[in-house]
A and B are shown apart, each in its own frame.
Chain A
C-alpha cells in the first residue's frame, strides 16, 4: 500500500507533470531549438509596468544559467487585489511577485519554481558562479544555492531602498555595484560572496564593472575641435588609466557603449559595429561591422570559456526620419562569436525561427548551450564546440 502511495505521489509531482507539458510545447515551437517552453503554462501573464513611473532602472536579464545544467527564467506578475490592504501589512501580501522557473538545460524539464514578493515591479536573478544565484529586488539582495537554500541576504535601509536606481553586475556576477540617485549618484561595491558592501567613488553613471575594475567613458566637448572620447579604467580605488582616446569618433575602435565582457576584455558597441579590446588597451582582439540597416540595440553577452559571446542584430521597422515617426526594433538574427574569429560560428535567424522579440539571451558557462527568452517562450539551442579554430558560417550576414 505504501509503495502505491509513493508511486502516485511521484507521478503527480510538478516535475513529472512538466515533462508532458514540455512535449506539447516543443512541438508547438516548430523550430530546430533543442527545446522550447511557453512560460504562460507556469504563470507568465505578459505583465510589464508601462504607465507607472517607479524611479528605478533595475532590470536584470530575465534568463541566465546558474550552471551548465540549470537555466533560470524569471518574470513578474501582478495579481488581482480583491480586498483592502492594511497600511502596516507585510510585503509578503504584496500583489507583485518575481517568479523564477528552474529548467534542466538539456531537457527543459522544470526542476523547481520559486517566487518572491515585491514592492515595486523591478527585479531579477543573476548567476554568481559556483552554482549559486542572487535575487536582486529593490529592497534586498539574496544569495541562494541551487537547492534554493538561502545562504545570505543584504537588506537595504528604507533610505537606500527609496534611492536605489540600479544594481550593475560584473560579467561573472561575483561583484555588483549598487547605484543610488539622491538625486546625485553614490555607489556601493558589493562582493557577492560575502554580500558586504563598501562605498566606492565613480565619477559618472556611464560605467561598467568587472570583478576588480571599473571602466568609464566620457564624451567631453573641447572647443573648437569637437568631442573628445576617453575610455578610462581603474582598479578598485586606484588611479584612472586611459584605455583609448579619440576625437570626434574618428577611430571606430574607441567609443560607443563600453562594457566588460570578462575580467580582461572590454566590448565597445556602436549602432553598427562592435570591437573587443584588452582592458590594458592596444590592438582590438576582434572587430565586426554591420550594414547601415542593421543595429546593435543591446549590450553583448559576457564571454564564456574566455572566448564565446552572443550579439543580437536588429532591424528598425516602420518609422520615418522625415516625418519624425518612431520605428520599432525587430530582431534579425542572433550571432555567436568565438574570439578571435571575426565571423560568427553560429547564427539564429529570427524570421525563420519566428522570433519577433528578444527579452533575454544567455550562454551556458561551458558555451555549449544558448538560451533565448522571446515572447514568453524560453528556447534552448545547442552550439558547436568552443574551439580555437572554430569553423565559420559561409555567409553569416
Chain B
C-alpha cells in the first residue's frame, strides 16, 4: 500500500505474489478490502466467493448448528425446522465459523434464556446472525480456553473453516 493521492482519493497497492499494482478508491478502503488466496475483494465479493467455493464446508456447519439448536430447544424445535431457518446465502465467514442469517429463531427460543446470546456453542453475535462455536467461553475455564484456542486462535490464523460434523 503506497498511500493516498494528493486529492485524498486513492491508495496505491502492490500485490507482490503476482506483481500486480493498482489503485483503490478511498470509499473502497472505508468499506473494507479482503485478500484471499492472492485475490482482493470487497465485502460482497468476498462473501460470494466463499459461498461459491466452500459450500460443502458451510453445509457441514449448517447441519451441526441445526443439530445444536434442536438439542437446546427443549424439544420445541426439530432439526429440520432449525436447518430450514438457517440462511447460508446472505451470511458471512467470521474467523472459521460461518455466520448464518437467522430470522426465525433467537436466544429466547433456546433453553439458555432470552438474555443468553451464547448457548452451549450456539452464538448469536449480532441481531439476525448465528454461528456455532466449539464451546461457550463463559461455561468454565476449560471451555474458555477451548473457545480461545479453537474459535479465536485457530479460526483466525489456521482454518478457513473449522471442521464440524
Contact = CB atoms under 8 A, between A and B. Distances in A.
Contacts of A257: 87, 101, 103
20 contacts: A50-B114, A55-B73, A165-B76, A183-B81, A204-B84, A218-B84, A227-B88, A246-B89, A248-B55, A248-B89, A255-B89, A255-B90, A271-B101, A292-B31, A299-B103, A319-B126, A323-B152, A324-B94, A324-B137, A327-B125
A324 B121 CA distance: 12
A246 B112 CA distance: 36
Interface of B: 31-32, 43-44, 48, 51-52, 55-56, 58-59, 62, 73-78, 81, 84-90, 94-95, 97, 101, 103-105, 108-115, 117, 123-128, 133, 137, 147, 151-152, 155-156
B115 A50 contact: yes
Contacts of A206: 84-85, 104
Contacts of B97: 324
A228 B78 CA distance: 22
Contacts of B127: 295, 297, 314, 316, 329
A43 interface: no
Of all A-B residue pairs in the complex, the 5 with the closest CB atoms, nearest first, are A249-B89, A226-B55, A51-B113, A297-B127, A329-B127
Contacts of B126: 295, 316, 319, 326-327, 329
A184 interface: yes
B48 A219 contact: no
Of listed A217, A226, A270, residue having the most chain B CB within 10 A = A226
Contacts of A185: 78, 81
A147 interface: no
Contacts of B88: 219, 227
A319 B126 CA distance: 8
A53 B115 contact: no
B128 A297 contact: yes
A61 B89 CA distance: 27
Contacts of B89: 219, 227, 229, 246, 248-249, 255
Given A52-B113, A53-B112, 11 more contacts: A57-B105, A205-B84, A226-B52, A226-B55, A250-B48, A295-B126, A295-B127, A323-B152, A325-B125, A326-B117, A326-B125
Contacts of A223: 56
A86 interface: no
A322 interface: yes
Given A48-B114, A205-B85, A295-B127, A183 B78 contact: yes
B84 A50 contact: no
Contact of B90 (A50, A256, A316): A256
A2 interface: no
Interface of A: 48-53, 55, 57, 165, 181, 183-185, 204-206, 217-219, 221, 223-227, 229, 246, 248-250, 255-257, 270-271, 291-292, 295, 297, 299, 314, 316, 319, 321-327, 329
A219 B109 CA distance: 22
A205 B55 contact: no
B110 A53 contact: yes
A249 B51 contact: yes
Of listed A50, A223, A227, residue having the most chain B CB within 10 A = A227
B109 A57 contact: yes
Contact of A324 (B51, B52, B85, B125): B125
A295 B51 CA distance: 20
A366 B154 CA distance: 55
A227 B117 contact: no
A291 B31 contact: yes
Contacts of A316: 126-127
B55 A324 contact: no
Contacts of A325: 125
A125 B156 CA distance: 46
B145 to A, nearest CB: 14
A324 B133 contact: yes
A47 B89 CA distance: 36
Contacts of A291: 31
A205 B104 contact: yes
Nearest to A181: B76
A217 B85 CA distance: 9
Contacts of B44: 292
A48 B55 CA distance: 39
Contacts of B124: 326
B113 A53 contact: yes
A321 B94 contact: yes
A53 B75 CA distance: 12
